[in-house]
Chains A and B, each alone.
Chain A
């Protein structure tokens, strides 16, 4: 009798569990983050992950998206393109609503075909120009394309009276794209490239690059490398007594690089698309929340990860349903105002390719801090 009752109880429990599973699944929305949590991109990926987690925590605490809680999974692509592709393929099999990441342009470049084939929106952190010029309708940026950012940098250099530049760039998709674009933009403004110096991803010693830059006698140095390499480059520039102005785009003057390079970052100048020090109450509030949560300042990648999740929320609420095709269609050409969607932090407009446009900043590193020296309006609004 006891055995029969036990069997009935177990059976009832199993039926209840089986019936409740779809209900539980329906209460969540699955998002998979394909992110650089090891390898050369770990500095960027860790910040992005923290930003994503903070946004997910806030959104879930506030009731989720259209009443559904976000179930986020971070999958490490080891900063390797082939693994990023494998992660994206496996993620697509799990049928997520949206995929986030990768951050490195090389990783995005190979992983984004999966987004198109599976018709899953991919909100990524890459900046290389070619990511949004291939007609992929499911890829969206969280930061400027190099095609949008480099004209601002070149104009900045021209305004500073720079006539020649030594370019130090990292030989990956990100660096190559940036190098090609800045050379083109400098040429339009009559600024000569005195030295074109490539470096390797993960490079430890930058002595040779610094000596070649100094030898070129250029008016300034423009650095376009990833976070760790930027920090090592700044340390080498300081150690070898490089005295000319040092400029960068986004990475060189980011919070994380300043933290890693220490005093060697002082004096570096550049253009940044995102900064927690921006004169914007929403961004500054995000910076405070990030620091309270993780005990460190967010850099641009933290903001990118955070806004990526809030963009998913904003567009989904705008279309009123969880429909991936409708999501991608709605994000193309969308304008999200921070007053309506505070999580996006700044007014942002997407074009039909997945590129975004918003205000940006010129900065200088002073006493170990990123100081905003000028606010640049969105392109086309000057």
Chain B
């Protein structure tokens, strides 16, 4: 029983990291109908930016994180929207999906060219503290990650439902034309979504890189898992991203421990397929009707 709980706790922490990235998928989809398959690389880039600021500029981790947040909002938020999304979105989702796939490959190879294909160690924001609760060993990193992911989801939910800007963003997500008629600055709301996505990616990088280690292709697995998590939880629901992330993280651990590590990587894909077939709106998502 303790082993099972151990797997669930650790899986929840990993799932929390997936959830932060998955939130980026749901936010962009809701705000601008964008599917971003370069999301994994948007986690990898802040990881390398933080490493640069830590090792070359000599900044402490908190400062490196804050500086990377600002940089990510400018480049991965506003820059990505302006350079990639705005020119392509008018042609539909498919060209944008293809463009982000290309961007993913390009970014990976660029980082490989600059930083080499080697793996780099990354400091943890949490201490090494380990608690033993009735035989269950819980690390500060696991608890911190879960709490942080929950807090981010709760804050995002509160922002979207209780603030004027959040409601305006929701209005844009539901009906752009109606939102425009109501006097909402649609482009600004969309930009906010991109900025929030960049922040979430940077936070995910901070939490997951100490365990995964920094490498040019570290975003491949993470991006894919986050996409599965977003679909499983519900592409149009922020809490769904958290649920999807946790389900993927926990299931991976259970399959790895009780079946085989060989099937571990496939479990998210299997669940993704089941959800797509039987509940395409995701576990917490709502059915969307679109005019054609």
Residues in chain A within 8 A of chain B (CB atoms): 37-39, 42-43, 46, 171, 197-200, 203-205, 207-209, 211-212, 214-215, 227-228, 231-232, 235-236, 238-241, 259-263
Tell me if A241 and B132 are in contact (CB < 8 A): yes
Say yes or no for B175: interface residue by CB 8 A criterion: no
Among B76-84, B152-160, B260-268, B284-292, the one that faces the other chain is B260-268
Tell me if A211 and B257 are in contact (CB < 8 A): yes
Across the two chains, which residue of chain A brings its CB closest to B208? A204
Chain A contacts of B188 at CB under 8 A?
none
Across the two chains, which residue of chain B brings its CB closest to A238? B128
Asked whether A211 and B6 contact (CB < 8 A) given A200-B265, A240-B139, A241-B139, the answer is yes
Residues in chain B within 8 A of chain A (CB atoms): 3, 6-7, 10-11, 14, 112, 116-119, 121, 128, 130, 132, 137, 139, 141-142, 210-213, 215, 221, 252-257, 260-262, 264-265
Q: When A and B form their complex, which 4 residue pairs have the shortest distance between CB atoms, in order from nearest?
A: A208-B256, A241-B137, A208-B257, A207-B10
Chain B contacts of A212 at CB under 8 A?
257
- State which of A42, A214, A236 has its C-beta within 8 Å of the C-beta of B211: A236
Tell me if B117 and A240 are in contact (CB < 8 A): no
Looking at B119, B137, B254, the one whose CB has the most chain A CB atoms below 10 A away is: B119
Chain A contacts of B221 at CB under 8 A?
204
Looking at A215, A227, A235, A261, the one whose CB has the most chain B CB atoms below 10 A away is: A235
Asked whether A198 and B261 contact (CB < 8 A) given A46-B116, A262-B121, the answer is yes
Asked whether A198 and B262 contact (CB < 8 A) given A211-B257, A240-B6, the answer is yes
Across the two chains, which residue of chain B brings its CB closest to A204? B212
Given contacts A38-B117, A46-B118, A240-B139, 14 further A-B contacts (CB under 8 A): A38-B112, A43-B119, A171-B261, A198-B261, A198-B262, A203-B261, A204-B212, A205-B253, A205-B264, A208-B255, A211-B257, A232-B211, A240-B10, A260-B213
Asked whether A43 and B261 contact (CB < 8 A) given A205-B14, A208-B253, A208-B256, the answer is no
Chain A contacts of B252 at CB under 8 A?
205, 208
Chain B contacts of A197 at CB under 8 A?
261
- State which of A211, A261, A262 has its C-beta within 8 Å of the C-beta of B7: A211
Chain B contacts of A241 at CB under 8 A?
130, 132, 137, 139
Chain A contacts of B264 at CB under 8 A?
200, 205, 208
Q: Could you tell me the distance between the alpha carbons of A207 and B3 in the complex, rounded to whole angstroms? A: 11
Chain B contacts of A207 at CB under 8 A?
6-7, 10-11, 14, 253, 256-257
Looking at A38, A209, A215, A236, the one whose CB has the most chain B CB atoms below 10 A away is: A38
Chain B contacts of A38 at CB under 8 A?
112, 117
Q: List 26 contacting pairs A-B, 8 Å CB cutoff, sorted by A.
A: A39-B117, A46-B116, A46-B117, A199-B261, A200-B264, A204-B211, A204-B212, A204-B221, A207-B14, A207-B256, A208-B255, A211-B3, A211-B6, A211-B7, A228-B119, A228-B215, A232-B211, A232-B212, A235-B211, A238-B128, A239-B139, A239-B211, A241-B132, A241-B137, A260-B121, A263-B128
Measured CB to CB, the closest approach of chain A to B85, in angstroms, equals 29
Measured CB to CB, the closest approach of chain A to B80, in angstroms, equals 25
Q: Could you tell me the distance between the alpha carbons of A361 and B11 in the complex, rounded to whole angstroms? A: 38
- State which of B14, B141, B213, B262 has its C-beta within 8 Å of the C-beta of A231: B213
Measured CB to CB, the closest approach of chain B to A7, in angstroms, equals 44
Tell me if B7 and A208 are in contact (CB < 8 A): yes
Measured CB to CB, the closest approach of chain A to B219, in angstroms, equals 11
Measured CB to CB, the closest approach of chain A to B23, in angstroms, equals 20
Q: Could you tell me the distance between the alpha carbons of A265 and B121 in the complex, rounded to whole angstroms? A: 13
Measured CB to CB, the closest approach of chain A to B226, in angstroms, equals 13
Across the two chains, which residue of chain B brings its CB closest to A259? B121
Looking at A200, A204, A208, the one whose CB has the most chain B CB atoms below 10 A away is: A208
Chain A contacts of B257 at CB under 8 A?
207-208, 211-212
Tell me if B6 and A171 are in contact (CB < 8 A): no
Q: Could you tell me the distance between the alpha carbons of A58 and B213 in the complex, rounded to whole angstroms? A: 34
Asked whether A42 and B119 contact (CB < 8 A) given A205-B253, A215-B3, the answer is yes
Chain B contacts of A198 at CB under 8 A?
260-262
Chain B contacts of A205 at CB under 8 A?
14, 211, 252-253, 256, 264
Measured CB to CB, the closest approach of chain B to A281, in angstroms, equals 30
Q: Could you tell me the distance between the alpha carbons of A196 and B210 in the complex, rounded to whole angstroms? A: 27
Q: Could you tell me the distance between the alpha carbons of A110 and B124 in the complex, rounded to whole angstroms? A: 40
Chain B contacts of A240 at CB under 8 A?
6, 10, 137, 139
Chain B contacts of A239 at CB under 8 A?
130, 139, 141-142, 211
Chain A contacts of B10 at CB under 8 A?
207, 211, 240
Q: Could you tell me the distance between the alpha carbons of A43 and B215 in the complex, rounded to whole angstroms? A: 11
Measured CB to CB, the closest approach of chain A to B84, in angstroms, equals 26
Q: Could you tell me the distance between the alpha carbons of A45 and B130 in the complex, rounded to whole angstroms? A: 35
Looking at A209, A227, A238, A241, the one whose CB has the most chain B CB atoms below 10 A away is: A241
Q: Could you tell me the distance between the alpha carbons of A240 and B11 in the complex, rounded to whole angstroms? A: 12
Chain B contacts of A171 at CB under 8 A?
261-262
